């Protein structure tokens, strides 16, 4: 154990949260525990600011969409949980659509997403979105090359219409390394409380890594527009990624930062 601890560090470790952070994982790791304590402090401050953002949204009938994309096991769900766990659940929704029904397959591709757009005073978080057609579907053969091209030709206009209607749109891509993905898959498989998270698509993700990379790069090249840019969040370290995600959302929306809550 390091002996170069400041009085402030010792105070943090000697708190209830500090002891829990220190003893939660073996072997004991003081640096890891201090990182986690500092993360919790940052998170609380950012979650307070998210409440201020939501209050502004509600008071002004604003509408916000935050789109999360990324590799399997990149931490999209975990980031969304930290964003939403303290805000008012009556004025926000998390959307994670299942595979389309036969009726939905016969509709315009964007139709089922249009039905999920926010009403006045609401924030909507997409845990994967219409961008499934840009990467997941073509890699796994769930759409034809023609359907893929139609999507890529329409998506920028679709987002322009969303923005012109007055909705704020934030697009986040959570990026992890192939090694980190393999590590997280192994952890999921070995944890009986998390095994349900492993899907058939996840099982193939490592083998299809390069194909995913090719379509991901094409997505950025064609849809990273001036009016609707992507923000890539490096997510190998979950806690840092969550802080960076929330900071980006707060910086992307021109809300009243002086609002009392």
| Alpha-carbon span 199 to 62, nearest angstrom | 36
Closest CA to 168 of 243, 95, 250, 108: 250
What pLDDT is attached to residue 155? Answer: 98
What pLDDT is attached to residue 1? Answer: 45
Mean pLDDT score, 41-48: 97
Grade residue 152 by pLDDT with cuts at 50, 70 and 90: very high
What pLDDT is attached to residue 5? Answer: 74
What pLDDT is attached to residue 7? Answer: 72
pLDDT tens for each residue of 101-128? 999 999 999 999 999 999 999 999 999 9
| Alpha-carbon span 113 to 107, nearest angstrom | 11
Q: What is the pTM of this model?
A: 0.90
More confident residue, 230 or 31: 230
Omega before 27 cis (within 30°)? yes
What pLDDT is attached to residue 30? Answer: 75
**If you write DSSP's letter for every residue of 133-159 in order, what string do you get?**
GTTHHHHHTSS-HHHHHHHHHHHHHHH
Mean pLDDT score, 147-165: 98
Domain 61-245 has CATH 3.40.50.300: yes
Grade residue 35 by pLDDT with cuts at 50, 70 and 90: confident
- Judged against a pLDDT cut of 90, whether residue 64 lies above it is answered with yes
81 backbone dihedrals φ, ψ, rounded to 5°: -60, -40
Grade residue 20 by pLDDT with cuts at 50, 70 and 90: low
What percent of the chain is modeled with pLDDT above 70?
90
What pLDDT is attached to residue 2? Answer: 47
What pLDDT is attached to residue 31? Answer: 75
What pLDDT is attached to residue 10? Answer: 61
pLDDT tens for each residue of 181-228? 999 999 999 999 999 999 999 999 999 999 999 999 999 999 999 999
The residue length of the chain stands at 261
Q: What mean pLDDT value characterizes the chain?
A: 93
Mean pLDDT score, 24-44: 81
């Amino acid at each position: 154990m390091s002996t170069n601890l400041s009085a402030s560090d010792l105070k943090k470790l000697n708190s209830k949260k500090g002891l829990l952070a220190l003893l939660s994982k073996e072997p004991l790791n003081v640096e890891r525990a201090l990182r986690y304590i500092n993360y919790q402090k940052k998170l609380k401050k950012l979650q307070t600011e998210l409440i201020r953002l939501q209050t502004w949204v509600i008071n002004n009938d604003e509408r916000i969409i935050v789109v999360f994309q990324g590799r399997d096991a990149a931490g999209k769900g975990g980031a969304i949980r930290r964003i939403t766990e303290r805000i008012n659940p009556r004025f926000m929704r998390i959307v994670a659509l299942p595979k389309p029904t036969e009726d939905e397959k016969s509709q315009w591709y964007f139709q089922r997403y249009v039905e999920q757009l926010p009403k006045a005073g609401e924030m909507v978080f997409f845990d994967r979105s219409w961008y499934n057609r840009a990467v997941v579907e073509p890699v796994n053969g769930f759409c034809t090359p023609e359907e893929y091209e139609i999507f890529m030709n329409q998506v920028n206009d679709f987002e322009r219409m969303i923005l012109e209607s007055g909705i704020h749109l934030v697009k986040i891509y959570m990026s992890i390394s192939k090694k980190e993905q393999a590590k997280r898959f192994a952890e999921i498989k070995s944890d009986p409380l998390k095994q349900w998270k492993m899907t058939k698509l996840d099982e193939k993700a490592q083998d299809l890594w390069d194909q995913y990379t090719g379509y991901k790069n094409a997505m950025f090249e064609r849809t990273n527009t001036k009016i609707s840019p992507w923000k890539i969040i490096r997510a190998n370290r979950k806690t840092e990624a969550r802080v960076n995600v929330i900071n980006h959302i707060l910086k992307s929306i021109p809300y009243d930062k002086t609002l009392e809550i």
